[in-house]
């Protein structure tokens, strides 16, 4: 893997973590809903496929940031709902700060405005 790919992969992973944690901070959701809401709320800028979502979700679950539990959705189908854990809540603020600093650094370097 070359350097630019590695950086891209880290950026997409980091942004994915922040997006998932932010969504789950509002309410518990299952995988399909997470992907759908992220796509809708970012206007398609962030798009999760099944292949990109679940390895990340499972990794976050292993770290104890989120917790998955099977329960029926509104249609009565069993879905694995993820909710934020106390550890996940603690991660959210520093992660937000990290991204803010990252964009501010880009702003000052490239004159890119993001507001």
Query: How near is the Cβ of 7 to other proteins at its closest, in Å?
Result: 19
Q: Using alpha carbons, select from 7, 29, 8, 6 the residue that is nearest to residue 19.
A: 29
Check binding of 32 to other proteins (CB under 8 A): yes
Which of 2-10, 50-58, 92-100, 104-112 is the region at the interface with other proteins (rule: CB under 8 A)? 50-58
31 scored as a contact of other proteins (CB under 8 A)? yes
Per rule CB under 8 A, is residue 93 in the interface with other proteins?
Answer: no
Q: Find all residues with CB under 8 Å of 59, minimum gap 6, and list them.
A: none
Q: How far is the CB of 91 from other proteins (least distance, A)?
A: 17
Rounded Cα distance between 49 and 35, Å, is: 7
Residue 74 found at the interface with other proteins (CB under 8 A)? no
55 burial via Cβ count (<10 Å: 0-12, 13-18, 19+):
exposed
The footprint of other proteins (CB under 8 A) covers 30-32, 35, 49-51, 54-56, 58-59, 62, 77-80
């Amino acid at each position: 893997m070359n350097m630019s790919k590695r950086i891209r992969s880290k950026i997409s992973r980091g942004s994915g973590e922040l997006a998932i944690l932010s969504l789950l901070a509002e309410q518990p959701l299952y995988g399909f809903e997470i992907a759908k809401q992220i796509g809708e709320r970012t206007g398609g800028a962030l798009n999760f496929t099944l292949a990109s979502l679940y390895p990340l979700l499972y990794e976050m679950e292993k770290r104890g940031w989120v917790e998955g539990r099977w329960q029926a959705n509104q249609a009565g189908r069993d879905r694995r709902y993820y909710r934020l854990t106390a550890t996940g809540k603690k991660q959210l603020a520093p992660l937000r700060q990290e991204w803010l600093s990252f964009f501010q650094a880009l702003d000052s370097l490239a004159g890119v405005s993001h507001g």
